[in-house]
Amino acid sequence: FLLGGNNLKKVSVIKILIAAIVITLSFLGLFNIINTKITMPISLLLLGIMSISNGYESYINNKKGESILLILSGIFVIFVSVITTFF
């Protein structure tokens, strides 16, 4: 991604898609249609990616402190998702 207004639209579309996928996976796991051990790590991974994209959007809007916090928390959530999946 390069800096610019057009990329904010792309980031917003990506965030909406990720949110819809997370909601769908959560409901499928909640009603035991798909095993929760499969849906929850995937949902956490997607939420980490969404947090990183929020950090990128904040970076573009010159909110440096907020962007650093969001990116670091996204990386932490992805790390926790991977660790809980494999260990």
Report the pLDDT value the prediction gives residue 30, as an integer from 0 to 100: 94
pLDDT of residue 6 exceeding 70, the answer is yes
Question: Which whole number is the average pLDDT over 64-85?
Answer: 96
Report the pLDDT value the prediction gives residue 9, as an integer from 0 to 100: 86
Query: How far is the C-alpha of 38 from the C-alpha of 47, rounded, in Å?
Result: 15
Report the pLDDT value the prediction gives residue 11, as an integer from 0 to 100: 85
Cα angle 38-57-70, degrees, rounded to a multiple of 5: 55
Q: Are 51 and 74 in contact (CB under 8 A)?
A: yes
pLDDT of residue 1 exceeding 50, the answer is no
pLDDT tens-place string over residues 42-66: 999 999 999 999 999 999 999 999 9
